[in-house]
Structure 1
Amino acid sequence: MEQNFFRLTPQQALQELHAASGGLTSAEAAQRLAKVGPNQLAEGQKKSALAVFAGQFKDLLVVILIAAALISMFSGNLESTLVIFAVLILNAVLGTVQYFKAEKSLESLKAMSAPTAKVLRDGQRQEIPSSQVVPGDIIELEAGDLIVADGRLLNSWSLKVNESSLTGESEAVEKISSAISGEKVALGDQKNMVFSGSLVTYGRAVMVVTATGMETQLGRIASLMNQTQQRKTPLQKNLDDFSGKLAFLILVICAGVFLLSVYRSGMTILDSLMFAVALAVAAIPEALSSIVTIVLAMGTQKMARQNAIIKELKAVESLGSVQVICSDKTGTLTQNRMTVQNIWADGILTRGTDLELANDAQRALLKIALLDSDATLGHTAGAAAVGDPTEVALVQLGAWFGVEEQAYRAQHPRLSELAFDSDRKLMSTLHDTDEGPTLYTKGAMDVLLARSTRLLTSQGPVPLTPELRAQIEQVNRQQSESGLRVLAFALRPLPSARLLTLEEETDYTFVGLISMIDPPRPESVQAVADAKRAGIRTVMITGDHKTTATAIAKQIGIFGEGDQALDGVELEGMSDAALDEVLPKTAVYARVSPEHKIRIVSAWQRRGCVVAMTGDGVNDAPALKKADVGVAMGITGTEVSKDAAAMILADDNFATIVKAVLNGRSVYANIRSAVQFLLSGNMAAILAVIYASLAGLSVPFQPVHLLFINLLTDSLPAIALGMEPARPGLMDQKPRDPNASMMDRPMITRVFGQGLMIGVASMIAFYIGLAEGGAALASTMAFATLTLARLFHGFNCRGPESIVRLGLGSNPYSLMAFGIGILLLALVLFVPALEGLFLVAPLSSANLMWVLGLAFAPTLCIQISRLIRGK
């Protein structure tokens, strides 16, 4: 049967194989699919909208806001309670919408690359979605097909498979089918197995599915990914730490103010409770959680416009503090396609683009490259090249010189062929040429050189002397040591056309060498340089050979003076302590497994570094999830890698990562500015309330005043601060310490000092109002001064420089926020219907002038000091 089988067409072979292996009927496949479920990989349980919505309330700052609402409710202030809960719900809705928006973007990326399979069921060839494939299905594979399940080859025709998504190696692997005997499929080694997620680059085959979904090799890696725990971002840690300390401080201060009010000032318990409630509302930055979410959301939208899809809001900020990028090589730093670099013929080593068709030897070299290959370029719009990446590179070489491979092959038809196999390391084809039947062969240099007796030169063939052999070997060695893959080419005229045998592959005329490489992306060199300038270390992690990986790393700028490379075997023999010792000096890790990648990421994290991991393969997924920021490729990336990552590059452009880092740094700086703005304004209210309590004065601000300020007039300037353009020089700074608190000493000094100035101005207004019209006017003037002063203060928080240097119009959103804030304040002060709701008294022109002057005074002092300091 086996002898006849090799004479069948692929379609006839499918029928034979289906009968021999007991293939499924459609009904049997449906039953099996119903039992095992769709062929999906570790997508995890999809969260419901309710679960996502409920998850928005887990943040400690939100808990503080809920506590504030309860305090307001128990104090009888229903308006305050409703306003706080309204803000909480708005914040939760925003977070939920952003979550599902990111999920929708991810689903659209998946849909673009959803694979199908050609199966034989009920004696008919059908094309079905990969999710409907089940064990036992017979699948036909052709060049360009994505393998959708693990399987054993029943037969193959010169099959080569790119397994880079699993192994990280860009070079295709040859596969050999099992023997078929009756109904029993003989089992062999991994050479007759193909795996889900791999790509057929050459030949064709028929396989029987042995595993789908989580039972595949790809699925096992996905399981490893699911066992990996994600880490909190620096911002999460900072806000959690800040929220905890703030909650404790608020409780202590409120209790102290309540006791002082009752026992020292002689106030009633209700009045004292109102002081405590006012202080709590003043101290709690109600808008902080919402503002942080909004600023992060705006950051994601900006990055989406730059082809970076953010799945998690907080990943934006983490990017800004990245200190190490552990990057996959294939498809991430490189183009994932082989490209001819150099050629050697007629004793001349030159770049492929400098090949001279007038030189007989170089022209013959190009001729063999085109005819002794099966790859084709996409000659129509949108069509992709098909074939082994190495042969695609050879055909592309012809395209550089205007030679179209299909037309050229039609001029020199193929008469017979000997397919490539890994044992003899050669491929030969016989062609009808102007010189008669000619055998063209390409393959390993050492094998082909040993079978050659002559060397083709521009003057014709000459004897292949030991000196010439040594010269060829030297060129091959130099090219290989540079990380290039070298192929040798030779020809042999035959007296007549005939079926080729292995005995024909001898007595060659050696023609030349072609070296090629999977080239770096053009933007990778600049991106790595920008990352280095920003104090970010880039480390290459790949499944390729150490020599190749090191050569690429040197070209890109990752591997420099004093750096070293390790392979998986060396890494396996190292303890964690030994790895920690060599970690700073190791720029390249080659021949590594998924477990090794996680170990490398973990080692950097042990040093306290924020780590980003980039990649596109299934073998990258566990490390993508383990890293602080996982970055997957949106076009070439596998579904598992996209699911594991926090960010997806829609354009697969490594330089987009550097843009994301800049955006992340800018987002963090803007969040820090917004926090400074909110807290310094709140500090002014806190100091004013504490002073009034100690001085035995009436409450300077009603809770509804503080809620109006915190939730309305403060929110808009804070959001405007989140829109501040990236400051010059952000990428010239070192990454910030992820363990450093956002509330460091300089920040605390600014918050307290600026809050004190605004608080003093507010209390001066309070005293003026108290002298002119009593407690109601005093409270109104203090409220108006505090509100207006905080609106002016928004310009101070745009940056550490003076507004003259920053430019008043460089952030138009801050001007818009200021204008809207003024309008809202005017409505509260001058619309009669709102006077009762906000408990304000009418203001005279003199009162308004005092409010305006006192509110502007703190900003004037701050700006003058910055101008002096700048000079």
Structure 2
Amino acid sequence: MQKPYFNLSPKETLEQLGVTAGGLTGQQAAQRLEQYGPNRLAEGEKKSWLAVFAEQFKDLLVAILIVAAIISMFSGNLESTLVIFAVLILNAVLGTVQYFKAEKSLESLKAMSAPSAKVLRDGQRMEVPGDQVVPGDIVELEAGDLIVADGRILNSWSLKVNESSLTGESEAVEKSRDAIEGAEVALGDQKNMAFSGSLVTYGRATMVVTGTGMDTQLGRIASLMNETQQRKTPLQKNLDDFSGKLAVVIMVICAVVFLLSVFRNGMGVLDALMFAVALAVAAIPEALSSIVTIVLAMGTQKMARQNAIIKELKAVESLGSVQVICSDKTGTLTQNRMTVQKIWADGTLTPGTDLELANDAQRALLKIAVLDSDATMNAESGAGVGDPTEVALVQLGNYFYVDAPVYRSQHPRLAELAFDSDRKLMSTLHNTDDGPMLYTKGAIDVLLDRSTHLLTGDGVVPMTPERRAEIEKVNRELSENGLRVLAFAQRPLPEARLLTLEDEQDYTFVGLISMIDPPRPESVKAVAEAKKAGIRTVMITGDHKVTATAIAKQIGIFEEGDLAVDGVELENMSDAELDEKLPHIAVYARVSPEHKIRIVTAWQRRGCIAAMTGDGVNDAPALKKADVGVAMGITGTEVSKDAAAMILADDNFATIVKAVLNGRSVYANIRNAIQFLLSGNMGAILAVIYASLAGLSVPFQPVHLLFINLLTDSLPAIALGMEPARPGLMDQKPRDPNASMMDKPMLSHVFGQGLMIGVVAMIAFYIGLAQGGAALASTMAFSTLTLARLFHGFNCRGTESIFRLGLSGNPYSLMAFGTGVLLLAFVLFVPALEGLFLVAPINGFQLLCIVVLAFLPTLLIQLSRVIRGK
């Protein structure tokens, strides 16, 4: 069995790939391009617009409406037929448009292979498009290059690569050509491999390509995304469940009404069918899906104004029921930049900003930090360029007005020994006022062992065991707080010359500088607010467990009794063990993309609605798997943004909490809108059933009910979606995602309020029947039902009386009511519309009866709320 490439020597790798040191020939490259295909990521399966459009008609309620339209057509009621089909086509078009606004994650992943690459072919250096690179190509890498394929390092000159797009960690990784012997190791330890999507930040190298397209680490992530299935939101589940049950109930009731009409009342088949059609149209809330979509869309607009950009409408509702936020650390909870925290010199541990430059030891420490680094600052943007650790050191110098380029020109570098992970040191030789001076920074254990003296404010003193123990104690305390510690030392040399490894000894130890990727200030407050709202925040990171735990404690994520596990521990856990420990694990460290998906899945397995935040390519599969994927808008990669359902335009973790509040408000508004629609429909259903049982004529024509459902009902329902958030929403725990929206209180409200509306509609029907016959009766019943439902919109704004809610608290409800009344007036009093809507003329007395009867249910409901409130 072939060993992994990182376990082969460079020579063995070239032999295995069948390539010479001069690279592939042009013919070989063409053959391999045909064999392996372009260096691109596979595209997901795409549906045609016709197939998507056809899927919109699979719903059982839609099938019932189609049957109703056909029956209406055969009964000679062409107007109803046309209106029903128009409604169905409109809803299908809206659903199709929403589908094609779906995610484009794989397209963004594929786009990362687009940059060009410098390759050796036929012994010549040439530049080719990234998608033309094939296995066996020898690629030259330089600082600033985006690596377009996976490859084995052949030669390296101080190469450092930023793999944050894959690992999520901002610190550059050193690469070398030394083969790693033994068993396969983790991604972060494959130091002789370079990976597609990574950025060269320092040095240069040559590598031989070992994998392209879907055979890369980036391709593996793409495969995970293809395999990941998104879950339906609680609202979708509730509505699907409700629609299915409603469809069955409608069919049963329609069948019963038809049979009663024919066999009990002796009604003709066509007339009985019209009763069944009227009942079906009355029962089906045609505008429900459109209303929900519109309310969600309005919620997204409000969130966008608060820097939360919603890509998928369903994410708005899911946010309202989020129970756990699985948050990436780097760049999400933290600032994604290294920052100096505390320094130790001359026996004193102080914040970095409190350096005393009058102290020889502390001044020397700052001097070494600036000179023994290669980072620079962009003069225009102020951003650091180079290794994040060295950027932090240069920024420390800037704080004390030490301009790195100027200072380095005053103390020119004469020679250097680049950083090496085996030595764990970097050394540079400089001209100083005291002659040639060797400055070194690196791991404290290595540098302390090579130090014979210590620099103090009073001069150089011998390094005694007691002084060494004090330095080790300080290092231990800093490390336990999650800080990365660098040691600094110096050594005078007799003359300027090339450096050798033997020069890195007999040092005078100068001091320590600790640094950390600091938490965002707003993260602490946001985590506390989330906790108050009953939402658990969990940190998921590729960082060390000690560092991650320290950050989590600062932010408030990790508390007494919580656990922190790393990727190895997680790998060794069975699903049952993970499920048992899951509620207590606050920090996951050193995790892979597969681990992130497993963590999110574990929370979902517990029935929780899980959100996942992230900014790197490695986060994309988990962002897609989560109920709500949240990407960073500023620091996030395009892949993470496309995989997410929500993007934070300000990269502010606190914005998530605002989005949760809006999500809860939107859900409450949708629930109120659904209650409004169903209670109104219930009134129509009960009226039709009563008329059938009483042997009366049909109280409403199908066109009447469609007018109500699509026009006069839609406006108040949309207005309910604009209701402002109620105080105390964030003091409540997240709602149970498995709890049905149609619970007993809501069903009782729907039936009770619908019964009152149905009763007044039938009273109006009897008045019209007595004064002018079936046509007038139908007109008065239709008018009363319409106006009663418009009044009922005020009842559904909340559970309190309108006096507490405030009539002007939601001006949109007043506008909706006024527009609805105007539309009804057009139908009743514009002669051209009388024939279309099958209405009869009414006089002043009949109009007064309609208004009084329509207002009666709202009056009774409001009086009961006032009494209950007192």
Query: Same fold by TM-score, threshold 0.5 exceeded?
Result: yes
Q: Please list the CA deviations of residues 262-293 of structure 1 after superposition, one character each: whole Å capped at 9, or x if unmatched.
A: 22222222221111111111011111111122
Tell me the equivalent position of 1:4.
none
Give me the whole-angstrom Cα distance separating, in 1, the residues matched to 2:69 and 2:368: 80
| TM-score normalised per structure 1 | 0.92
Deviation at 1:430, TM superposition (A): 0.5
Aligned residue for 1:683, secondary structure, equals helix
Deviation at 1:115, TM superposition (A): 6.1
8 Å Cα contact 1:43-1:643 kept in structure 2: no
Give me the whole-angstrom Cα distance separating, in 2, the residues matched to 1:60 and 1:589: 45
Matching of residue 654 in structure 1 with residue 665 in structure 2 = no
Tell me the equivalent position of 1:182.
none
Tell me the equivalent position of 2:8.
none
Tell me the equivalent position of 1:713.
712
Give me the whole-angstrom Cα distance separating, in 1, the residues matched to 2:522 and 2:112: 25
Give me the whole-angstrom Cα distance separating, in 2, the residues matched to 1:60 and 1:356: 77
Give me the whole-angstrom Cα distance separating, in 2, the residues matched to 1:546 and 1:569: 11
Give me the whole-angstrom Cα distance separating, in 1, the residues matched to 2:414 and 2:541: 41
Tell me the equivalent position of 2:703.
704
Which amino acid in 2 is paired with 1:612?
A: A
Tell me the equivalent position of 2:77.
77
Give me the whole-angstrom Cα distance separating, in 1, the residues matched to 2:89 and 2:131: 38
Which amino acid in 2 is paired with 1:343?
A: I
Matching of residue 50 in structure 1 with residue 42 in structure 2 = no
Q: Please list the CA deviations of residues 239-274 of structure 1 after superposition, one character each: whole Å capped at 9, or x if unmatched.
A: 111011000100111111111212222222222111
Matching of residue 268 in structure 1 with residue 277 in structure 2 = no
Which amino acid in 1 is paired with 2:623?
A: L
Aligned residue for 2:157, secondary structure, equals strand
Aligned residue for 1:191, secondary structure, equals coil
Which amino acid in 2 is paired with 1:701?
A: F
Tell me the equivalent position of 1:278.
278
Deviation at 1:99, TM superposition (A): 4.2
Aligned residue for 1:609, secondary structure, equals coil
8 Å Cα contact 1:487-1:515 kept in structure 2: yes
Q: Tell me which moved more, 452-461 or 676-685.
A: 452-461
8 Å Cα contact 1:580-1:603 kept in structure 2: yes
Alignment of 1:480-491 (within 5 A): 480-491=479-490
Aligned residue for 1:358, secondary structure, equals coil
Q: Please list the CA deviations of residues 134-182 of structure 1 after superposition, one character each: whole Å capped at 9, or x if unmatched.
A: 3344433333433221112232211122334334444432211369xxx
1:249 to 1:380, Cα distance in 2 relative to 1, 3 A: same
Give me the whole-angstrom Cα distance separating, in 1, the residues matched to 2:191 and 2:80: 71
Give me the whole-angstrom Cα distance separating, in 2, the residues matched to 1:669 and 1:75: 41
Give me the whole-angstrom Cα distance separating, in 2, the residues matched to 1:128 and 1:794: 65
Give me the whole-angstrom Cα distance separating, in 2, the residues matched to 1:294 and 1:513: 59
Matching of residue 413 in structure 1 with residue 417 in structure 2 = no
8 Å Cα contact 2:72-2:274 kept in structure 1: no
Which amino acid in 1 is paired with 2:173?
A: V
Which amino acid in 2 is paired with 1:156?
A: S
Deviation at 1:655, TM superposition (A): 2.5
Aligned residue for 1:350, secondary structure, equals strand
Which amino acid in 2 is paired with 1:576?
A: D
8 Å Cα contact 1:170-1:544 kept in structure 2: no
1:656 to 1:480, Cα distance in 2 relative to 1, 3 A: same
Q: Tell me which moved more, 755-764 or 154-163.
A: 154-163
Tell me the equivalent position of 2:198.
198
8 Å Cα contact 1:42-1:640 kept in structure 2: no
8 Å Cα contact 1:139-1:208 kept in structure 2: yes
Q: Tell me which moved more, 779-788 or 212-221.
A: 212-221
Tell me the equivalent position of 1:3.
none
Tell me the equivalent position of 1:88.
88
Tell me the equivalent position of 1:215.
215
Give me the whole-angstrom Cα distance separating, in 2, the residues matched to 1:125 and 1:22: 9
Deviation at 1:127, TM superposition (A): 6.0
Q: Tell me which moved more, 459-468 or 438-447.
A: 459-468
Tell me the equivalent position of 1:377.
377
Aligned residue for 2:191, secondary structure, equals helix
Tell me the equivalent position of 1:360.
360
8 Å Cα contact 2:113-2:131 kept in structure 1: no
Q: Please list the CA deviations of residues 109-147 of structure 1 after superposition, one character each: whole Å capped at 9, or x if unmatched.
A: 889988624414677766665444433444333334332
Give me the whole-angstrom Cα distance separating, in 2, the residues matched to 1:371 and 1:59: 70
1:557 to 1:781, Cα distance in 2 relative to 1, 3 A: same
Q: In percent, how many aligned pairs have the same letter?
A: 83
Tell me the equivalent position of 1:14.
none
1:79 to 1:31, Cα distance in 2 relative to 1, 3 A: farther
1:754 to 1:323, Cα distance in 2 relative to 1, 3 A: same
Aligned residue for 2:118, secondary structure, equals strand
Which amino acid in 2 is paired with 1:223?
A: S
Which amino acid in 2 is paired with 1:714?
A: D
Tell me the equivalent position of 1:870.
869
8 Å Cα contact 1:98-1:297 kept in structure 2: no
8 Å Cα contact 2:40-2:214 kept in structure 1: yes
Q: Please list the CA deviations of residues 70-120 of structure 1 after superposition, one character each: whole Å capped at 9, or x if unmatched.
A: 44334443322322222232223333334444658x799889988624414
8 Å Cα contact 1:300-1:313 kept in structure 2: yes
Gaps spanning 5+ residues in structure 1: where? 1-17, 180-188
Alignment of 1:595-614 (within 5 A): 595-614=594-613
Aligned residue for 2:512, secondary structure, equals strand
Q: Tell me which moved more, 563-572 or 424-433.
A: 563-572
Give me the whole-angstrom Cα distance separating, in 2, the residues matched to 1:551 and 1:823: 64
Give me the whole-angstrom Cα distance separating, in 1, the residues matched to 2:778 and 2:705: 11
8 Å Cα contact 1:69-1:81 kept in structure 2: yes
Which amino acid in 2 is paired with 1:252?
A: V
Give me the whole-angstrom Cα distance separating, in 2, the residues matched to 1:49 and 1:64: 24
Alignment of 1:772-791 (within 5 A): 772-791=771-790
Which amino acid in 1 is paired with 2:820?
A: G
Give me the whole-angstrom Cα distance separating, in 1, the residues matched to 2:647 and 2:65: 34
8 Å Cα contact 2:43-2:107 kept in structure 1: no
Tell me the equivalent position of 2:183.
none
Q: How many residues align?
A: 843
1:592 to 1:268, Cα distance in 2 relative to 1, 3 A: same
Aligned residue for 1:587, secondary structure, equals strand
Deviation at 1:597, TM superposition (A): 2.4
Give me the whole-angstrom Cα distance separating, in 2, the residues matched to 1:588 and 1:828: 63
Aligned residue for 2:377, secondary structure, equals coil
Alignment of 1:666-681 (within 5 A): 666-681=665-680
Deviation at 1:640, TM superposition (A): 4.5
Aligned residue for 2:385, secondary structure, equals coil
Tell me the equivalent position of 1:626.
625
Q: Please list the CA deviations of residues 354-388 of structure 1 after superposition, one character each: whole Å capped at 9, or x if unmatched.
A: 2222222212111111110111122213x742211
Q: Please list the CA deviations of residues 174-228 of structure 1 after superposition, one character each: whole Å capped at 9, or x if unmatched.
A: 211369xxxxxxxxx9322101122323322232322221110221232133223
Alignment of 1:253-652 (within 5 A): 253-381=253-381, 384-652=383-651
Give me the whole-angstrom Cα distance separating, in 1, the residues matched to 2:497 and 2:595: 52
Give me the whole-angstrom Cα distance separating, in 2, the residues matched to 1:423 and 1:434: 32
Q: Please list the CA deviations of residues 387-409 of structure 1 after superposition, one character each: whole Å capped at 9, or x if unmatched.
A: 11111111111122222212221
Q: Tell me which moved more, 574-583 or 423-432.
A: 574-583
| TM-score normalised per structure 2 | 0.92
Tell me the equivalent position of 1:5.
none
Give me the whole-angstrom Cα distance separating, in 1, the residues matched to 2:91 and 2:133: 43
Give me the whole-angstrom Cα distance separating, in 2, the residues matched to 1:789 and 1:37: 66
Aligned residue for 1:205, secondary structure, equals strand
8 Å Cα contact 2:41-2:106 kept in structure 1: no
8 Å Cα contact 1:95-1:293 kept in structure 2: no
Which amino acid in 1 is paired with 2:477?
A: Q
Deviation at 1:323, TM superposition (A): 0.9
8 Å Cα contact 1:222-1:618 kept in structure 2: no
Q: Tell me which moved more, 588-597 or 731-740.
A: 588-597
Give me the whole-angstrom Cα distance separating, in 2, the residues matched to 1:348 and 1:71: 91
Q: Tell me which moved more, 488-497 or 217-226.
A: 217-226
Matching of residue 850 in structure 1 with residue 849 in structure 2 = yes
1:68 to 1:436, Cα distance in 2 relative to 1, 3 A: farther
1:309 to 1:97, Cα distance in 2 relative to 1, 3 A: farther
Deviation at 1:429, TM superposition (A): 0.3
Which amino acid in 2 is paired with 1:236?
A: Q
Aligned residue for 2:376, secondary structure, equals coil
8 Å Cα contact 2:83-2:703 kept in structure 1: no
1:723 to 1:499, Cα distance in 2 relative to 1, 3 A: same
1:290 to 1:762, Cα distance in 2 relative to 1, 3 A: same
Tell me the equivalent position of 2:859.
860
Q: What is the alpha-carbon root mean square deviation over aligned residues?
A: 2.6
8 Å Cα contact 2:486-2:513 kept in structure 1: yes
Give me the whole-angstrom Cα distance separating, in 2, the residues matched to 1:617 and 1:90: 39
